[in-house]
Amino acid sequence: MSDARIRPATEEDLPAIVRLAGVIWRAHYPGIISPTQIEFMLARMYALDTLREEIHAKSIRYECLFVGEESVGFASYGPAEKPGVFKLHKLYLLPACHGRGLGSRLLRHCEDAARTLGARRLILSVNKRNTKAIAAYQRNGYTVAESVCVDIGGGFVMDDFVMTKELVP
């Protein structure tokens, strides 16, 4: 889409990211995880203090996707523990914008930015039941590297595939 643009998020964008995450998660995740887990994870992952800490203390970068003047998606990425490896922490797009190539465009933007910062590989975690996202990542060259189940507290787990892609220069 010619009127789509991506720009780095600033701290002033964080409240809008929180609101957008709430809309996207509540539309996308029912049937994948329970409504109670959705609210638990939103409260945990999208508290403003959590996002600020990610940006300031963990070197995680956020990118905002706009179509015209409307914020329709966002992503975040940053260095992982191993040298040369970055992790895509988040990539979300309003459901009404799916199927237009916007998610792939945002993903390529993050890959290019990570490569510029020295990444040779990008990894991500995706819920095993999130078949739509898994297929999208596979279309973009990602493969399943492992299966993990992580206790996140509150009686919940993240039952995920870790997917990976080598970033060629």
Q: What is the DSSP string of 19-41?
A: HHHHHHHHHH-BTTB-HHHHHHH
Write down the pLDDT at residue 11.
92
At 150, list the tokens: 């992580």
Q: Which residues are CB-neighbours of 99 under 8 A, at least 6 positions away? A: none
- pLDDT score at 94: 96
How far apart (Å, rounded) are the C-alpha atoms in residues 46 and 44? Answer: 6
Residue ranges for the chain with pLDDT beneath 70: 1-2
Could you say which architecture CATH assigns to the domain 4-166?
A: 3-Layer(aba) Sandwich (3.40)
The length of the chain in residues reads 169
pLDDT reported for residue 1: 56
